[in-house]
Amino acid sequence: MRYTTLGASGLRISRLILGCMSYGEPGRGAHGWSLGLDDSRPFFRAAVEAGITVFDTANVYSLGSSEEITGQLIREFTRRDQVVIATKLGMPMGEGPNDAGLSRGAIMTQVDDSLRRLGTDYIDLYQIHRLDHRTPVEETMQALHDVVASGKVRYLGASSMHAWQFAKMQYTADLHGWTRFVSMQDQYNLLMREEEREMHPFCVDQGIGVIPWSPLARGRLTREYGAPSPRLELDATGANLYRQDEESDRAIAAAVGEIAAERGVSRARVALAWHFAKPAVSAPIIGATKPEHLQDAIAALELELTADEVARLEAPYRPRNPEGFA
């Protein structure tokens, strides 16, 4: 495994992050493909043995069950101080007034609920899942600073939004002497590169680590374009992504397949290796529900694409509207 710092912070992380959305009590919440505790156990064991130290979940994943499984399996396979637990808040967890959003009330309620489910007394990286357009930025940033000052959280992260919105939140923290975000979790892959225009240059300039979600475009880069996917049949959000430019997407997927064939490796390995050629990226977040998913991701660390291969992968891309924002 390789390691880096998360942006300009002192937090050391593995260059792969295990995404835990796939681990949760089946049928609980919106993630119908999730694996229960026993089926999740081999993936956590393999990740720890491979040297992966970062586990990314969210309170909303399987309505808290993902946090419960993540916390339990981390305790089974490693020491708490050897890993980085990242979780998120903001999405609806119920019908109560503080069950969603980024108000002070929501933040104070949800951080304690996540700590309880994870079975830990601190969260390494606490991330806002999306913007809360109803709550003043000052209220959100002060409350997030307070949970850091309390010792319940060590670092703060954000997720998909426009670069100007992220800059506003960072400026607000700076203006008041509050805790800044150290990371941006955004959608970034060969089929969605809009973050290269403003967000990633801003992150590089400001020393903010980028930890992309959906680096394989919900599996679209791992198979022939248009091939059926049982996962997408259960993933309403994923099924609605990557539908803006079929001609461009098809050509990109074909380029991934051609280079994979030339190198004698999987498509997933090529698509993930592309991220490691990007200076803004600290570590992509990978999902794994089959052993080969984790094996391909780890192998991608050793695949160094040439400048010509990177150019071939990127050439068919055409500008599109950003997706995945709230």
**Which residues are annotated as catalytic?**
61
* Cα(176)–Cα(5) distance, integer angstroms: 26
* Cα(33)–Cα(134) distance, integer angstroms: 32
Q: Quick one: which of 319, 305, 307, 232 has its CA closest to 271?
A: 305
Based on its alpha-carbon atoms, the radius of gyration of the chain, rounded to whole angstroms, reads: 19
HEC per residue, the chain: CCEEECCCCCCEEECCEEECCCECCCCCCCCCCCECHHHHHHHHHHHHHHCCCEEECCCCHHHHHHHHHHHHHHHHHCCHHHCEEEEEECCCCCCCCCCCCCCHHHHHHHHHHHHHHHCCCCEEEEEECCCCCCCCHHHHHHHHHHHHHCCCEEEEEEECCCHHHHHHHHHHHHHHCCCCEEEEECECECCECHHHCCHHHHHHHHCCEECCECCCCCCCCCCCCCCCCHHHHCCHHHHCCCCCCHHHHHHHHHHHHHHHHHHCCCHHHHHHHHHHHCCCECCCEECCCCHHHHHHHHHHCCCCCCHHHHHHHHCCCCCCCCCCCC
* Cα(54)–Cα(182) distance, integer angstroms: 15
